[in-house]
Amino acid sequence: MRHLISPILPRGMLALLSAVYKMGKTLLTMEIARAVLEGADLLARFPVESPGTVAAYWMDDPPALTLDRLKARDMDASNRLWVAPALEVDLSEPLATVRDMERGVLKVGADLAIVDALYLLMPEGRESGNDATRMRPVMRALNLMAERTGAAVLLVAHDRKNADDVAGSYVIRAACKVILRLLLPRGTEVDPDEGPLVLSTIHSAKGLEWHSVFIIWALEGRFPSYYNVNTEEELEEERRLLYVASTRAKENLFVTYPIKIFDRGLRTVLSRPSQFIEGIPEELLEPVTLVEEEEERGWED
């Protein structure tokens, strides 16, 4: 068995990607696609056989959002990435749609085919994923697509609007050779109305997006760090990191810094906002100062 990405994505077979909660499955498929395009290890852990071509059917999101995400990852200009225009994909006949997908994969010689999302190819009706009579032909067609093209075919299982658990369908799971499941850290509990709080370095956040992002320590001496401003090149690298951090936010971006703090390493007081913030036009900012009242801290005159 040959793997496009070892040991998680075999060539010529179906793989199913699912997750608990809403955990950015589409964004992960973009990271997988980028790893294949570049021939780089996925998440610095899973080896990619060699640089390859990707055919992507990102049908679950508006085309404009998909394009923005690709641009943020510098993938929009890749000549080895073929993205099917979502508005041109006819979902009224699932079997015919899969055959069209197969022709597209063959046409571009794709090593990886991404189908996002599987529920769009499912028959109407609650629990239709477990309706073997109607669902098996679709899964058989997807399996044939993988076998005939030799591509690793990655199916993304988003739950349907009626709350059907797509990934839980025994018909779907039986047809897939690999099942990839994203999990929250052990012991994590998530409010169904709110996502988990994620603490991340900027480097680890590359390629990811969140509804709201807080950038902390935007203080001269910390960001940029006094240790990384010896040359213009180092300063520009720090500026680029701030750009990366800022573009992780889809809706709200908060850039924060303490008014004054003593840095033990530098043996000095830091109190000036980052020079990168000072370069942002005022009309784009909404300054907020948080002041802790003395009585709340238990101080008395």
Domains in the chain, CATH or no CATH each: 3-182 (3.40.50.300), 202-287 (3.40.50.300)
For 144-202, what is each residue's pLDDT tens digit?
Answer: 999 999 999 999 987 644 434 455 567 788 888 888 877 655 555 555 455 556 767 77
User: Angle 22-14-82 (CA atoms, 0-180°, nearest 5)?
Assistant: 75
Compare 202 and 21 and report the one with higher pLDDT: 202
Residue 301 banded pLDDT, cuts 50, 70, 90: very low
| Predicted local confidence at residue 204, as pLDDT | 64
| Predicted local confidence at residue 118, as pLDDT | 84
Cβ-based neighbour number of residue 231 at 10 Å: 9
Percentage of the residues of the chain whose pLDDT score is greater than 90: 30
**Considering only CA atoms, which of 134, 139, 143, 122 is closest in space to residue 59?**
122
Compute the average pLDDT of residues 30-50.
Answer: 92
268 has pLDDT over 90: no
Task: Report which residue type is found at 166.
Answer: V
Look over the chain and give the mean of its residue pLDDT values, rounded to a whole number.
81
| Predicted local confidence at residue 35, as pLDDT | 94
| Predicted local confidence at residue 164, as pLDDT | 44
298 has pLDDT over 60: no
| Predicted local confidence at residue 300, as pLDDT | 42
Distances (CA, A) of 126 to 162, 163, 274: 7, 9, 54
Compare 297 and 55 and report the one with higher pLDDT: 55
* Dihedral of the alpha carbons of 11, 91, 21, 195, in degrees to the nearest 10: 120
The pTM for the full model equals: 0.61
| Predicted local confidence at residue 163, as pLDDT | 39
For 72-118, what is each residue's pLDDT tens digit?
Answer: 888 988 999 999 876 566 777 889 999 999 999 999 999 999 999 88
Residue 299 banded pLDDT, cuts 50, 70, 90: very low
Residue 279 banded pLDDT, cuts 50, 70, 90: confident
| Predicted local confidence at residue 148, as pLDDT | 96
| Predicted local confidence at residue 189, as pLDDT | 58
245 has pLDDT over 80: yes
141 has pLDDT over 90: yes
| Predicted local confidence at residue 75, as pLDDT | 93
9 has pLDDT over 90: yes
Q: How many residues does the chain have?
A: 301
Q: How far apart are CA 174 and CA 160, in angstroms?
A: 19
Give the least confident one: 64-68, 86-90, 139-143. Answer: 86-90
Distances (CA, A) of 17 to 39, 78, 83, 88, 172: 21, 24, 19, 24, 11
Q: How far apart are CA 12 and CA 147, in angstroms?
A: 5
Which residues, in sequence order, are bridge partners of residue 261? 270
